[in-house]
Amino acid sequence: MQRLIEFGWRLLPFAVVILIWYAVRWSGVVDQGLLPPPHLVFLDIWKRSTEGTFLLDAWVSIRRVLLGLFFGMLLAVPIGFLIGWNRTIRRFVDPLVNFFRALPPIALIPLAIVYLGIGEVAKVAILFYAAFFAGVIVMYEGMSQINPLFIRVSRTLGATDWEVFYKVILPLTVPHVLTATRVALGVAWATLVASELVAAQNGLGAVIQNASAFFQLTTIYAGIVAIGTFALIMDTMLRMASRRFLDWQERVVQ
């Protein structure tokens, strides 16, 4: 019962948004032709899923995000770790990281197309780039916040360098890895859609792009709703993982 109520609270805001959506449509503020009603959007998702390639497009997008995120974090964790740990490395790498991070990944899409074509590799490469720079910054800021007191305590208990590393620093890194992954995930979704809008035959971004060419507003909305839903589901899964693994934290990453 408690869980049901909790679940209800999660859904409530979305129900309210849908109601406002209907209200805006019926109030006549916006031309009815320019704002399809929610039920038609859901119907469109259903029809395109059962009769068309919508699910396949969704899967293509999700796979790109996951691959980009995976490779991005695979590199961001050790690199962020090194930068956070070593002052000399940090001084050297910091300006570079900030330069590349300030550069929107979307700006690299034309370059990626030139070098890597318009296939999967180009898309995953851009997502890798986006995920890496979002992740690395969270990682190393987190790392540099690690309380040196814990390292001192472990030394007075007799820990060697290696033991300090894997018994103290590593467990303290886990929260930052999870936070970095969540941030990178958000950035990856945003970048994915942009790259699919520019050059893709499939994926949710391409669905939206094609629908826009034919002025199929309902399908544009269907694509947007689907992207939001998948991004939210992935984020929720990460949050649940945080809660499970970071039980010990004063404030669980919410």
Partner 1 sequence: MTGETAPGEDGSPKVVFQNVSKSFGAIEVVRDVSFEIHDGDFIAVVGPSGCGKTTMMNMLAGFTKPDGGAVLLDGRPVAGPGPDRGVMFQDYGVFPWLTVEKNIRFGLELAVKRGMTKAQKNETVEKYMAQMRLTDFRNAWPKNLSGGMKQRLALARAYAANPRFLLMDEPFGALDAQTRSDMHDLLLEIMQAERKTALLITHSAEEAIYLANRILVVSARPSRIVEEINIPFGDNRDRDLLDSHEFIELRRHLRDVVMKQYAEQQALR
Whole-number minimum distance, CB 165 to partner 1, in Å?
Answer: 13
Q: Which residue, 74 or 172, has its beta carbon nearer to partner 1?
A: 172
CB of 166 to partner 1, least distance (A): 11
Q: Which is nearer to partner 1, 53 or 160 (CB)?
A: 160
**Which residues in 138-197 contact partner 1 (CB under 8 A)?**
149-150, 152-160, 163, 167-168, 171-172, 174
Per CB under 8 A, contacts with partner 1 among 209-248 are 247-248
The b-or-e profile of 217-227 (16+ CB within 10 A means b, else e) is bbbbbbbeebb
Minimum CB distance to partner 1 smaller for 173 or for 209: 173
Q: Residue 61 or 173: which CB sits closer to partner 1?
A: 173
d(CA 68, CA 53): 23
Interface size with partner 1, residues (CB under 8 A): 21
Q: How far apart are CA 137 and CA 130, in angstroms?
A: 11
* Residue 179 beta carbon to partner 1: minimum distance, rounded to whole angstroms: 15
Q: Least CB distance from residue 212 to partner 1, whole Å?
A: 49
Output 18 or 174, the one with its CB closest to partner 1.
174
32 or 147: whose CB is closer to partner 1?
A: 147
Q: C-beta of 180: minimal distance to partner 1 in Å?
A: 18
Q: Is 254 in the site for partner 1 (CB under 8 A)?
A: no
Q: Report the interface residues with partner 1, using CB under 8 A.
A: 149-150, 152-160, 163, 167-168, 171-172, 174, 247-250
